[in-house]
Amino acid sequence: MYAIIQIAGKQFKVKPGMVLNVPTLDVEPGKKVDVERVLAYSDGENLEVGTPELTNVAIDGTVVTHGRAKKIIVFKKKRRKGYQKKQGHRQGFTQIKVEGIAPVKPAAKKPAVKADAEVKTENKPAVKKTSAAKKPAAKTAAKKPAAPKVATKPAAKKTAAKPAAKKAVAKKPAAKKAPGADKGE
């Protein structure tokens, strides 16, 4: 028997009697833990997968202790630049003991009692309440369809005055040089 759960944004596979470390939770040691989501459950023969979660499975767990993991060294260096930085980090965790995984049967639904029936039993006259939200809805339904628009002739378009066209400037032909003029004679 196992279940896949989600606590503090991470997913874990849990079995009854298992102790697991999860990211730090704000729960005192010895208190019960609320599992955010149960994603899947298997009883050994059948596997139930939630879409996205199961509501008919309960996980019983208690907080054992809080702690910090082993130190991790973060070392950054850029060669030939004279840059190096050493930093340590210890991630906090909460240790949880899973006491049991149990499928929960859905509670039987009680028939809903209408508010009108309760008012009549108290021997008070029933008062009809009309909501303000319903009145505008009735008015919008009663609106007449819009009359078709009458086609109008488009106004004569005014043409903008075009700037005067530039006169083409005639290029003078380049003077031909004598064949020996380049040599400096």
User: Is 167 a domain residue?
Assistant: no
Q: What domain count does the chain have?
A: 1
Tokens standing for residue 136? 């505008």
Q: Are 123 and 85 in contact (CB under 8 A)?
A: no
For residue 82, give the 3-state DSSP assignment: coil
The number of helices, as runs of H, and strands, as runs of E, in the chain is 2, 9
Give this prediction's pTM.
0.52
Whether 99 is covered by a domain: the verdict is yes
Q: Is residue 79 part of a domain?
A: yes
Q: Is residue 32 part of a domain?
A: yes
Q: Tokens 């279940």 label which residue? A: 3
Q: Locate 153 and state its tokens.
A: 């002739």
Q: Which domain holds residue 69?
A: 2-103
In a domain, 112, yes or no: no
- Residue 6 covered by a domain: yes
pLDDT in tens, 111-141: 665 555 555 555 555 566 555 555 555 555 5
Q: Which residues pair with 41 in a beta bridge?
A: 3, 48
Distance (Å, whole) CA 41 – CA 107 = 20
- What are the distances in angstroms from CA 30 to CA 10, 15, 101, 152? 22, 19, 18, 83
In a domain, 57, yes or no: yes
* Per-residue pLDDT in tens (0 to 9) along the chain, 185 residues: 899 999 988 999 999 999 999 999 999 999 999 887 999 999 889 998 988 899 889 999 999 999 999 999 999 999 999 999 999 999 999 999 999 888 887 765 666 655 555 555 555 555 665 555 555 555 555 566 676 676 666 666 666 666 666 666 666 766 676 676 666 55
Q: Tell me how crowded residue 16 is: count the other CB atoms within 10 A of its CB.
A: 16
Decide if 114 is inside a domain.
no
For the chain, the distance separating the N- and C-terminal CA atoms, rounded to the nearest angstrom, is 109
Q: Rounded to the nearest 10 degrees, how much is the dihedral formed by the CA atoms of 21, 23, 25, 30?
A: 10
Question: Positive or negative, the Cα torsion across 135, 136, 138, 142?
Answer: positive
Residue 39 CA from chain centroid, whole number: 18
